[in-house]
Structure 1
Amino acid sequence: MPRVSQTVFAPWDDPTEKPLIRFQNVTKRFGTFVAIDDLTLDIYEREFFALLGPSGCGKTTMMRMLAGFETISEGKIELAGQDIGHVPPNERAVNMMFQSYALFPHLSVWDNIAFGLKRDRKSKAEIDARVDEMLKLVRLEKFARRKPHQISGGQRQRVALARSLAKAPKLLLLDEPLGALDKKLRQDTQFELMDIQETTGTTFVIVTHDQEEAMTVASRVAVMDEGRIMQVATPAAIYEHPNSVYVADFIGDVNIISGQTNASGTDTYRLSWAEGQQPVTATSDITFSEGQKAHLAIRPEKIRISTDQPVDADNKVQGKVLDIAYLGNLSTYHVELPGGQVIKAQTANTRRIARRDITWEDPVWISWNATAGVMLAE
């Protein structure tokens, strides 16, 4: 497991901190197609930064521009204060680890890790010491003489990581690095990656479409769509305080209730969402005008489900159970409300039960507090 730091790491909140990487109004075009659209972003030293988004959103193009494999159409990228727009890939203090790992099949694990150091004409003593250090870091000392085909997928991934870190780059780029691993191994490897990143102090930028992976490993996440960054924040802030319906919907499971707002006191609104139904009450830091269209985003785990009408809830609606997804540790209930909207409510399965209290077609009540959701304008 990764070590827990005693001090809060948040250089992005310190105005005196200088970013390691700066994207300044960067645009990248392929013919008439705009892959990156006027993007500005700062990434700090020692960050584990995740670029997250669907296929084609521009995250890999951003990484390839950092690595020097793509040229910028407009704008500027700085690394440690230096404009790297015209610096060739082999002269950048940047290394890239590919999803395929790209290990040399005819070389041993030791020689794969030593490859870049030998090309830089380091002395034998330097190479021996550095490779041994990297083998220890990724816990592969016993496998040094094996070839890539003689070790597991997870071990090959660690060899590729050791080789990428051997030359001590300022920045390591990881393109879907865990994509080839099965789910259980991915989860274990995520914590190994975090531990290695913290030990070396190298800045990691990871490209992934796996939201769970991004939320696990990253100090901050940039959610992307169509060449633009929709939100940059810590995983907790992205999850609990998304700034748009797109981000709320992309990260985790969410219910979206749309309607018209009416002010109901300081920072409190009533949202009229369905004809014949009581408006729902929600708090918001954002100011909404009277009658403005708004969207209330509520996570399923924030919604309670019961067979009896709750007495102390800010919001309660009766519905009927359509579906139940049993996931072992959790159960997700899909509840159809009057008017047809389906709301998901999640409960933790903390007890072993032979029979469900709530089953398909049951009439149920769902309820939540006014502070449970986030009101969004778009």
Structure 2
Amino acid sequence: MPQTVFAPWDDPRETPLIRFQNVTKKFGEFVAIDDLTLDIYAKEFFALLGPSGCGKTTMMRMLAGFEDPSSGRIDLAGQNIVPVPPNKRAVNMMFQSYALFPHLSIWDNIAFGLRRDKKDKDQIAARVDEMLKLTRLEKFARRKPHQISGGQRQRVALARSLAKAPKLLLLDEPLGALDKKLRQDTQFELMDIQETTGTTFVIVTHDQEEAMTVASRVAVMDEGRIMQVATPAEIYEAPNSVYVADFIGDVNIIEGRATPDGEELYRIDWAEGQEPLHAASARYFSAGQKCHLAIRPEKIFIATEKPVDAQNAVQGRVLDIAYLGNLSTYHVELPGGQIIKAQTANTRRLARRSITWEDRVWVGWSATAGVLLDQ
């Protein structure tokens, strides 16, 4: 049986679990969140992504109840939660520091919230054992937090947050304290746990790779506003602005003026004395309209000879080569001084690389390789 794609945001019959409606948050004169409207659906793994100070943590603190909006409303499962105190919301928050009790065992740390809710002993024991199994911590139940690794502490904090079965779990930079390899392993664990429990996760991160790995959808934020909300693939392949294209992954941006040149095709005049470039776009541009062509480095090829059939080919000089093991990124200076990055997979030994520093090379790409943007 074919697996159905999880995309409740595309179904008009679906009701969002969380709804921000015209939410503004001011701290004195400073506007942290600016008239924000956003829907998040049940069982989503939703990422708020943006630079420091963009408002993503403020949004999370409003969901948790630690901050009140200056105006607008926030609904959770159809109820306005703004007047509801934090401890009465079906929301739990996992902090970057994990905030575990050092004097309590792992078992007691997970049981803490359930005991405060006056659950009976058998219920608590069954739920804690379930959480230990879910996070693969059964062997460590009697240890104290200082006796386990950082990755295991992260899982304890997660188990404790999920023990009370919240409708919504908020994760504030949850993997910030882990090293890169452990971060990557833990990202997949988080996804598995989220899928197993069906809890809605909202994660705040400034790490684009993390957001792209774990999230069903990503909201890219800047200065209290949401610039784009879409799946990771859409954000990467079809950004709606230079800001989003530039924030996610590596990108080349070429500025120019677009002129229609056939159905959904445009000619781009971009540098004095240079052949125009060609780009396909469903977005309409009027003759001479300013545009930005965004092209990912992996979509650009590099060669020593001019390609015969390339829709776009520009000659330049290799300024720099970044060797990343599986990939090499070539920084090529074009005649106008613009630098283009082209990426190739290293399928051969380095000694056999045909292009090196200061070489004259051609970089090229197809008309559909880039995204034509108007802002």
Pairs aligned (count): 374
- Which amino acid is 2:115 matched to? K
In structure 1, distance between residues paired with 2:224 and 2:188 = 29
Query: Which residue of structure 1 aligns with residue 338 of structure 2?
Result: 341
Q: CA deviation at 1:351?
A: 2.3
Match of 1:99 among 93, 96, 100: 96
The Cα shift of 1:356 comes to 2.0
Task: Choose from 70, 77, 91 the match for 1:73.
Answer: 70
Alpha-carbon distance between aligned partners in 2 of 1:268 and 1:210, rounded to the nearest angstrom: 35
Task: Give the 5 Å matches for 1:105-120.
Answer: 105-120=102-117
1:287 to 284, 291, 304: 284
Task: Find 1:82's aligned residue among 67, 79, 82.
Answer: 79
Partner of residue 21, structure 2: 24
Q: Match of 1:224?
A: 221
CA distance in 1, matches of 2:267, 2:373: 14
Q: CA deviation at 1:317?
A: 0.4
Gaps of 5+ in 1: none
Q: Distance in 1 between matches of 2:309 and 2:153?
A: 55
Percentage of matched positions with identical amino acids: 83
Q: Secondary structure at the match of 1:197?
A: helix
The aligned residue for residue 243 of structure 1 is 240
Among 136, 143, 148, the residue aligned to 1:146: 143
Tell me, yes or no, if structure 1 residue 127 matches structure 2 residue 136.
Answer: no
| Cα drift, residue 353 of structure 1 | 3.3
1:43 corresponds to: 40
> Hey, what's the Cα distance between the residues in 1 that align with 2:115 and 2:348?
58
Number of the residue aligned with 1:53 = 50
Matching residue of 2:192: 195
Task: Give, in whole Å, the separation in 1 of the partners of 2:203 and 2:368.
Answer: 33
The answer as to 2:265 corresponding to 1:254 is no
Equivalent residue for 2:159? Answer: 162
| Matching residue of 1:332 | 329
Amino acid at match of 1:176: E
Distance 1:65 1:364 in 2: 53
**1:264 matched residue in structure 2:** 261
Deviations 1:280-336 (A, max 9, x none): 000001000000000000000000000011011100000000000000010000000
Q: Is residue 308 of structure 2 the alignment partner of residue 303 of structure 1?
A: no
Distance in 2 (alpha carbons) for counterparts of 1:135 and 1:157? 13
Instruction: State the TM-score, normalizing by the size of structure 2.
Output: 0.99
In 1: Cα distance, 2:79 partner to 2:346 partner: 53
Aligned to 1:16, what secondary structure does the other structure show? Answer: coil
CA distance in 1, matches of 2:98, 2:139: 20
Q: Distance in 1 between matches of 2:288 and 2:120?
A: 73
- Tell me the alpha carbon deviations over residues 220-253 of structure 1, each in whole angstroms, 9 at most, x when there is no partner: 0000000000000000000000000000000000
Describe the SS at the equivalent of 1:354: helix
Cα distance in 2, alignment partners of residues 125 and 86 from structure 1:
34
SS in 2 for 1:128: helix
1:352 is aligned to 2:349 = yes
1:355 CA drift (Å): 3.6
Question: Aligned equivalents of 2:194 and 2:299: distance in 1?
Answer: 33
SS at match of 2:350: coil
**Counterpart amino acid of residue 109 in structure 2:** N
Q: Residue 350 of structure 1: CA displacement?
A: 1.7
